[in-house]
């Protein structure tokens, strides 16, 4: 039986969301509200409408509604899109990535898609905030080949201020998840003056060194590409004047993590 869920995009030929060439499915809904979010259209669970939508891909039955961001779709419809690119996955050791938003918010829909991918031998990755009950991570553990797990701020007060939620459950889940096997790539957004402070980076390194089985660390530089989305959606951009980190700053943070023995990359996987 096919399960329904809400997505806002499907990106083909992605090379930054896991190994190889991938199809990335963006789920709607996120429990966090990060100040630097570059997908503000992901945050609400239900489809929404706004002028001049620049939604990159539409399911055919929504194609006429250019103002709508997000569609209710079935897992079968999503699998049709994922399976179109199986030859690319086979050639590049790629697969499907479920991102968002937070895909675990729609756990039954996500679980169904992961199981369907596994039945077709398609490699699976999920991009997660980790802000969930651990039982959800356990449910999808066997059908997920790779967790792309976000780590943002170590100080809980700052985490609450800049994302809207506490980091306690996120860090506890990461510890349990990494204890269970070599399936975790950490994704750290580098947001000048917020996540790139010496204090935050030092605390992060201390925490990561206490974890087992971290496969790689990805440093994701803050960028301003969402500016026009905030304007079009009439949502408040809380960091209108913040400039992205330059390559010197990024390389210095990379060296800091590398000096402790981690495999580190600037950008996605």
Binding site for ligand SF4 (CB under 6 A): 30, 32-34, 37, 39, 42-43, 100-101, 129
Q: Following DSSP, what letter does each residue of 134-189 receive, concatenated?
A: HHHHHHHHTT-SEEEEE---SSHHHHHHHHSS-SHHHHHHHHHHHHT-S-EEEEEE
Smallest separation (angstroms) from ligand SF4 to the CB of 163: 6
Nearer to ligand SF4 among residue 26 and residue 257 (C-beta): 26
Which residues are 214's β-sheet partners? 184
Nearer to ligand SF4 among residue 122 and residue 221 (C-beta): 221
Q: Does an H or E element contain 243, and which?
A: none
Nearer to ligand SF4 among residue 34 and residue 184 (C-beta): 34
Nearer to ligand SF4 among residue 35 and residue 141 (C-beta): 35
Smallest separation (angstroms) from ligand SF4 to the CB of 44: 11
Smallest separation (angstroms) from ligand SF4 to the CB of 64: 27
Nearer to ligand SF4 among residue 94 and residue 100 (C-beta): 100
Smallest separation (angstroms) from ligand SF4 to the CB of 207: 18
Smallest separation (angstroms) from ligand SF4 to the CB of 88: 26
Pairing verdict, β 48-49 and 123-128: unpaired
Question: Would you tell me the crossing angle of helices 247-258 and 198-209 to the nearest 10 degrees?
Answer: 30
**Rounded-to-integer distance, Cα 70 and Cα 48, Å:** 7
Q: Which two tokens stand for residue 178?
A: 């990494």
- Beta-strand runs (E) in the chain: 4-14, 22-27, 48-49, 68-69, 71-74, 95-99, 123-128, 146-150, 184-190, 214-221, 264-266
């Amino acid at each position: 039986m096919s399960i329904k869920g809400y997505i806002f995009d499907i990106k083909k030929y992605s090379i930054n969301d896991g190994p190889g060439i991938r199809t990335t499915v963006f789920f709607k809904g996120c429990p966090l509200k990060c100040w630097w979010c570059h997908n503000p259209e992901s945050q609400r669970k239900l489809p929404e409408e706004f002028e001049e939508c620049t939604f990159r891909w539409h399911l055919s039955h929504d194609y006429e509604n250019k103002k709508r961001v997000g569609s209710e779709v079935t897992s079968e419809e999503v699998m049709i899109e994922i399976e179109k690119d199986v030859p690319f996955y086979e050639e590049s050791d790629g697969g499907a990535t479920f991102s968002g938003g937070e895909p675990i918010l729609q756990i039954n829909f996500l679980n169904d898609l992961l199981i369907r991918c596994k039945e077709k031998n398609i490699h699976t990755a999920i991009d997660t905030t980790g802000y969930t009950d651990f039982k959800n991570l356990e449910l999808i553990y066997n059908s997920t080949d790779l967790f792309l797990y976000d780590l943002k701020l170590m100080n809980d007060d700052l985490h609450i201020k800049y994302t809207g939620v506490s980091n306690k459950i996120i860090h506890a889940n990461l510890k349990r998840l990494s204890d269970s096997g070599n399936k975790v790539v950490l994704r750290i957004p580098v947001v000048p003056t917020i996540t790139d402070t010496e204090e935050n980076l030092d605390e992060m390194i201390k925490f990561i060194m206490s974890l087992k089985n971290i496969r790689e660390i990805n440093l994701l530089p803050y960028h301003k590409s969402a500016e026009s989305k905030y304007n079009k959606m009439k949502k408040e951009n809380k960091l209108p004047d913040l400039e992205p980190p330059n390559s010197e700053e990024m390389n210095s943070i990379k060296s800091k993590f590398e000096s402790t023995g981690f495999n580190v990359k600037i950008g996605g996987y």
